[in-house]
Chain A
């Protein structure tokens, strides 16, 4: 019979302090019960002899120093899982909120997970066709990858993520099982609703698990939400052998919540007030993507983060970029020109792309085409800068060609409809169409043999 403690000795923001506790362990979950019957959960974040600092997930509203009964559970935060969680909706700490009754747990797992041993990982090589040219062609998504979308407020990152989910032929051959785990951290109600509706309309609702912590839900809960979601993802992937796509939105809210808790704990801040362990915390989320050798399933992550003030050097996108395997960067200027998806390809990157494309995966010319498009588009920037100084008319004929190429590239290659689903071959052929606008001797990134084969072939048609 666990002891129940009455009263607290301090309440400060989301943190409470309990004194004279016995046998409390670090990271243990505690239950609070208030006099009027309300229940809350908390986690021990610091402990000195008999004094425990506890983080309250649901916020400390209604708690007082006298009326609170605290009970230690003796175990770290765990979540109930079973294959039946597919199609269900939970709150930020993994409790059912869709009114369809509790799930019968087949497993209870620690949400902190454990690091995957690099020895047992399998290097990801299978590409996921998303039907979006800028992604498939230039920043190919690989199964088992973590590829975040760096966006800004007001940019269509949600729409893009939804399109990826709808079009991604995740299963490859039809008989493989796939599912989506969706974790919302501090997002607006409308955003969560948009995703729910999209999943419904595309008929994948049965394959979606949703963990929702909305903007008006308790802040501390947000720190738990992605961990719960990833634990569910790992369970479905590695225990049930499914291919899981995890969408985490918005990482910025997660980091903000961490800063809030850290400052109420009185910790020494590092960059911009974020705690020194921001990198480690983000890494424990992102590194939970991957494939296990010999296993069937995989976890692919698409975290979405809104860059504060569109600043890619802000600590959150910056640290994320150092952990994830590339990034897709959305751009406000392109959005302003009504280009959808407004992907700025130059800073976008997929680190795993090189091993998942080419002969045997997509087509032999893929890498060369991608390199050449990048290189040509980088020159477009120079030509534009020059044109803004001396005027377009004064440009050399070659620079003019680059300008033309740049416009076509942005509108026809990057730009596409929100429901347009292009095959990889269509994407590559479109790439060649654009490259033919540039004189052949300028194409210095393409192997001569591939150039001979693809450059002239279709220009005759």
Chain B
């Protein structure tokens, strides 16, 4: 018999219940006649506090609140991919069917379609011993992903019964497991898991493989590892969302979980439309087929916004358990932090920095630590990478959310306003950004790309750093008075900035660039730099070098050399040699 209690007070998304209700912390409840979904967030002897995931307009003291007995959890099973959910895993498509263009309240919809029959291939036999995580059945969920249903983590025993291959719904038992204490537990395709508890794993591997994104400034200069964490902070209009979209589209993760947390409705619509048309370059299938969207737009209830991040990471962990590499785009974690602040304010908790609750840092760390390259309970290897956008107030990185996030992520891609104003995209600033994964990934780069890769990358960064210190002087006295070797640094840095760092997301070739081409581009720029240096050392003035069109030619390599024809770089090398000879001949 479910426990019930009576509403005593209502304040925005927070409601108070009278007396010792016997509810549990984090338990899911239904409030009022409309059965609004809520979660218990604090318990006292004389009062229980509940946050409600929907608008509380119309709730009255005296209405009943029913406890469900379960912690707030998500349903995990086939049907998650190619779908869009709200912050507590209610499918928006189904809601639209029931309530039209607006999202009304108290909608009772199933997270996953309970009637759809999935063609299931059972991979275990009676008599086999199974434990948490053992794969029992395979279902082709979308054209790109085979869904592997597993024994729930807290269950182990011996299979006593299986069904033959065929079509089953997510609620039909696939196998029956007899546990050590003699109980017989049916297991079906779907299972539930509380969103605030990380799914267990066997152990954690150190980062060793990069999450390739096809974006030069990320892959080459500031790479993120599979299972890594990155923060993308930037003021409004600097391209956080664009960066996340690009990674979601082109990264070599198997599955993308895109969390639109307190962001714009039109942006989610755009992802939905665009990903429904674009194809994954690696498999040729629709991008949506490997994507799950969680949309809790800024005008949707604030408590569900707080939950959406956890819902997203739980879905990601579930697919990781199957052995997939999952990448989470959380756009934006600042909205989540603000939701925390808003709820904390309603609870009249003592605020810490800038009104944020004191537990902001511990919540952030708990979230980012759910990422990682893991050995799962069933022995497979899978990873969850988290890329969180941060929207600092006024673009000022010293605010609490950015600062606390910086403590828990190992990759920092700082977006810069002045670059965005000059429409230099991606506006990731090479001086403020960093990645701690470079040393972890050095071996991979050496083996898979080239032994020279890391060295080249450091040289490119050195040129950019040198440029920035020279620019201090130029700002004071102009560039004309610089000696030629320093002028050359400025020119080469310009080539790096325009030809390498700037990347056009709307250009079919340039939007995603393979590692091989990224490396060859670096090589040719550095080779060119070396030749120019030789010329300058021989006393050739910069003006002579500049009169050749080779600078512009190298800048437009990104457009002119197709991604699949790296052999064309030989011609560029020859061009640089010709340029060298030319200059020598003309000025001999």
Contact = CB atoms under 8 A, between A and B. Distances in A.
Interface of A: 23-28, 46-50, 76, 110, 112-124, 144-145, 238, 267-271, 275-277, 279-280, 283-284, 286-288, 290, 292-293, 295, 312-315, 318-319, 321-323, 325-327, 346-347, 349, 351-352, 354-355, 367, 371, 374-375, 378-379, 382, 385-386, 389-390, 394-396, 399, 441, 444-445, 447-448
A379 B474 CA distance: 14
9 pairs of A and B residues whose beta carbons are closest in the complex: A313-B394, A270-B355, A283-B298, A378-B422, A48-B9, A114-B102, A321-B236, A287-B299, A27-B57
A234 B225 CA distance: 46
Nearest to A53: B11
B273 A371 contact: no
A27 B266 contact: no
B354 to A, nearest CB: 6
A275 B393 contact: no
Given A116-B101, A270-B351, A374-B423, 7 more contacts: A121-B269, A267-B345, A268-B351, A280-B302, A286-B298, A367-B506, A390-B477
Contacts of A286: 298
Contacts of B335: 279
A268 B346 CA distance: 8
8 contacts: A46-B10, A47-B9, A118-B269, A270-B341, A279-B262, A283-B299, A352-B266, A378-B422
A275 B103 contact: no
Nearest to B355: A270
B11 A46 contact: yes
B502 to A, nearest CB: 9
Interface stretch (B90-98, B404-412, B579-587): B90-98
A292 B101 CA distance: 7
B257 to A, nearest CB: 16
B103 A114 contact: yes
A18 to B, nearest CB: 13
B113 interface: no
A288 B264 CA distance: 10
B283 interface: no
Contacts of B297: 115, 118, 283, 287
B177 to A, nearest CB: 38
Contact of B298 (A144, A279, A314): A279
Nearest to A74: B58
A271 B9 CA distance: 27
Contacts of B475: 382, 385-386, 389
A120 B100 contact: yes
Contact of B60 (A24, A46, A444): A24
A115 B61 contact: no
Contacts of A26: 10, 56-60
A238 B266 contact: no
Interface string B1-23: 00000001111100010100000
B377 to A, nearest CB: 35
Interface in B451-507: 474-480, 498, 506
B342 interface: yes
A321 B394 CA distance: 10
Contacts of B272: 118-119
B268 interface: yes
A293 B265 CA distance: 13
Nearest to B497: A444
Interface in B361-398: 391, 393-396
Contacts of A119: 84, 92-93, 95-96, 269, 272
Interface in B39-75: 55-62
Nearest to A395: B478
Contacts of A385: 475
A276 B345 contact: yes
A149 to B, nearest CB: 15
Contacts of A277: 12, 302, 342, 345
Nearest to A24: B60
Nearest to B104: A114
A110 B342 CA distance: 24
B432 interface: no
B80 interface: no
B289 interface: no
Given A117-B102, A118-B265, A287-B264, A374 B342 contact: no
B338 interface: yes
Contacts of A269: 355
Contacts of A323: 264, 298
Contacts of B341: 270, 276
Contacts of A448: 556, 559
B348 interface: yes
B338 to A, nearest CB: 5
Contacts of A284: 298-299
Interface residues of B, number: 84
Contacts of B555: 444
Q: Which of B57, B105, B476 gathers the greatest number of chain A CB atoms within 10 Å?
A: B57
Nearest to A345: B421
Interface in B135-154: none
B393 A276 contact: no
Nearest to B422: A378
Contact of B96 (A120, A351, A374): A120
A114 B276 CA distance: 26
B282 to A, nearest CB: 26
Contacts of A27: 56-58
B101 A318 contact: no
A23 B60 contact: yes
Contacts of B298: 279-280, 283-284, 286-287, 323
Q: Which of A290, A326, A327, A444 gathers the greatest number of chain B CB atoms within 10 Å?
A: A444
A313 B506 CA distance: 30
B237 interface: yes
B334 to A, nearest CB: 8
B421 A112 contact: no
Interface in B322-367: 335, 338, 341-342, 344-346, 348-349, 351, 354-356
B329 to A, nearest CB: 16
B236 A322 contact: yes
A381 B293 CA distance: 41
A94 to B, nearest CB: 18
Contacts of A267: 345
Contact of A375 (B103, B348, B355, B422): B422
A280 B12 CA distance: 12
Nearest to B424: A375
Contact of B266 (A110, A123, A396, A447): A123
Interface string B262-298: 1011101110110000000000000000000001011
Contacts of A390: 476-478
Contact of A268 (B57, B61, B105, B348): B348
A295 B345 contact: no
Contact of B268 (A113, A118, A275, A295): A118
A399 B12 CA distance: 57
B63 to A, nearest CB: 9
B180 to A, nearest CB: 46
B16 A48 contact: yes
B552 interface: yes
A287 B478 contact: no
Contacts of B348: 268
Given A49-B61, A115-B265, A271-B355, A351 B421 contact: no
A445 B423 contact: yes
B345 A46 contact: no
B61 to A, nearest CB: 5
Given A326-B237, A375-B423, A444-B498, A295 B60 contact: no
A442 to B, nearest CB: 10
Contacts of A386: 474-475, 478
Q: Which of B18, B58, B424, B555 gathers the greatest number of chain A CB atoms within 10 Å?
A: B58
Contacts of B479: 396
B570 to A, nearest CB: 22
B300 interface: yes
Interface string B415-429: 001100111100000
